[in-house]
A and B are shown apart, each in its own frame.
Chain A
Amino acid sequence: MREKLPLALLIIMGLFGLAYRFMPHPGAEAFNSYLRDTLLRIISAFALILGLGNLLLRHAHRIQKREQDWVHSWVLILGFGLTAIIGLLGGVAGEGSLPTKVGNFSFNITDIYNGLLIPLGASMFSLLAFYMASAAYRSFRAKTWLAAALLLSAFIVMLGQVPLGYQISPAIPQVTQWIMEVPNTAAKRGIELGITLGVLATFLKILAGIERSWLGSGR
């Protein structure tokens, strides 16, 4: 039963998911919306409770065992608790029962999101430029003629994306466009064709019960 019920659900939902792509009827769309907007959200909410419970227990364990950098776990737990209280009691924009403004300084959940999370995410995103430079410096070596061709193409494409490329020669942006539209698109489509077939084969393997590791049965 532990395996048969999930498998049965999988077969029914999997076949519906495949058939839905060929069914323009509003009834099919309504059922699909119900699955996505209602059922999946309920499952995600319960999974979030499990995930957060795991997160808190893990860091509580680190504090208890005084593992390396255990103080950071206190920061996480305190930050989690504080944000949860502000969010639950302070309201989305500070309209809740808990006051979230001191003078001109506001710390409601929206301000925490806009003032902390978004700039932190932007900082991480900005690191990408340095990581890209580091990866390119490490990897772009003309050891073979293929590597040399890759290096030359990358150089032309980079030049073509900035005004300097046009200043050097108007042909550079045109060559850049050709590289992106012809060989790059051809390679991308070839990979995507393989991915499509891989998706279908994976779908069949799971539907036919050949692939069962996701069940946690160890098979």
Chain B
Amino acid sequence: MTRTAVVLCLGLLGLLIAGASPGGALMPPAGVIARDTPGDGGGSITVRWQPVVDAASYRIEAAADTAAFAAVGEVGADATEFEHEGVRDGEAHRFRVVAIDAAGNEAVSVPSAPVASRPQWFAIDLIGVAIAIIGLVAVVLWYIRRARRGEHLFIRRIAGLEAVDEAVGRATEMGRPVLYIPGTGYMSDIGTVASMNLLGEIAKKTAEYNTPIVVPVRDPVVYTVAREVVKGAYIAAGRPDAYDTGSVYFVVEQALAYAAAVSGTMVREKPATNFLMGPFHAESLILAETGAATGAIQIAGTDMVTQLPFFVVACDYTLMGEELYAASAYLAREPLMLGALKGQDMGKLVFMVILVLGTILSLLTGRDFTKILSTTGY
């Protein structure tokens, strides 16, 4: 080996020893890149850098325009990214990262290029959710198209909805009214919207059977909608003369006071059939138990998961979650509505397959595939 080669080898060996030894000089973080945080409403810049050997922590410093650098955060040795919030949009900032070792020695990086934050119109981290929604919409529209062409679509039997005719008929035979409670939510709750759709179908049946219907309502906006729904149902059934303007009435906005008032109505008027459809809260069991005590047949449906157990024990039939949304289509049996219902079911099948596949892949690879549909980033 020549003398030059020996010197080179010794020099390389020395560098390696110096780099590996605890007493070696701390290197500054390399590759410091700052950019506007994507998919947010502005006011945030994300800084990234490459990890440094022997660094115990990193201090991130920022400077606006020509101002001096000031510390804006500190992270541990494992971190290679920092999100600086509270930045004014459009104002350029430069960043530098200071590596700090266990002895307190510091190594300052080269400052990043100036970057300004801006608000975005689309949250890019929700792209998976957006694709899933578009896919589901496509499935629903496809089944609606099939329904328009006259294809027969099989819908599974829902016991609670099969019993509606029997329940309204029972009230007719006993000469007692049907009580419809549209939940204690607001018109902005989708469960209340579903309840209004179902109310229309049930009001048509009571109009056809000439059975009185009583609809006490908790929210004034829901009252105005319910009134129009029942009136429209009686007109559609060809019985506008049978419509009683006092059948739909506003009670009170306080939920528990509403429960007390409706319980009193149940005990006094003794309806033969009670429908409890929509969003409910703590008052659900009060209403269901009072109705059960009066001997009425009760069909309940809610999308509030916490109230389902109360309805299951106190009512004769319970529509759980999505069955409430399917109710109006199930009763109306209109092809277009059934098409949407079928699309909803097919979407559920697609989700089930994705969940099972994602779970298997996550177990096999150790990576979390469910994050693709996550909304926690927003």
Contacts and interface: CB of A to CB of B under 8 A. Distances in A.
Contacts of B249: 54-55, 58
B18 to A, nearest CB: 48
A94 B20 CA distance: 77
Interface string B354-377: 000000000000000000000000
B200 to A, nearest CB: 3
Contact of A218 (B220, B235, B314): B235
B373 to A, nearest CB: 11
B268 A69 contact: yes
Interface stretch (A101-109, A159-167, A170-178, A205-213): A205-213
A55 B305 CA distance: 32
A210 to B, nearest CB: 5
A127 to B, nearest CB: 6
Nearest to B127: A22
A211 B328 CA distance: 9
Contact of A194 (B137, B141, B321): B321
Contacts of A203: 190
A43 interface: yes
A52 B322 contact: no
A1 interface: no
Contacts of A205: 329, 337, 340
Residue of B123, B231, B260, B289 with highest tally of chain A CB at under 10 A? B289
A197 interface: yes
Interface stretch (B157-165, B173-181, B343-351): B343-351
A2 B347 CA distance: 34
Q: How large is the interface on B (under 10, 10 to 19, 20 to 34, 35 or more residues)?
A: 35 or more
Interface residues of A, number: 65
A204 B145 CA distance: 13
Contacts, number: 211
A44 to B, nearest CB: 6
B136 A191 contact: no
Interface of B: 39-42, 119-123, 126, 129-130, 133, 136-137, 140-141, 144, 188, 190, 193-194, 196-197, 199-201, 217, 219-221, 223-225, 227-229, 231-237, 246, 249-252, 254, 256-257, 259-260, 268, 282-283, 285-286, 288-289, 292, 303, 305, 308, 310, 313-314, 320-322, 324-326, 328-329, 334, 336-337, 340-341, 343-344, 347-348, 351, 378
Given A24-B378, A120-B256, A205-B329, 10 more contacts: A24-B120, A24-B121, A25-B121, A47-B219, A54-B250, A55-B250, A135-B310, A195-B321, A211-B197, A218-B232
For the complex of A and B, list the 7 residue pairs with the smallest distance between their C-beta atoms, beginning with the closest.
A216-B228, A218-B236, A213-B200, A51-B220, A198-B325, A51-B250, A198-B322
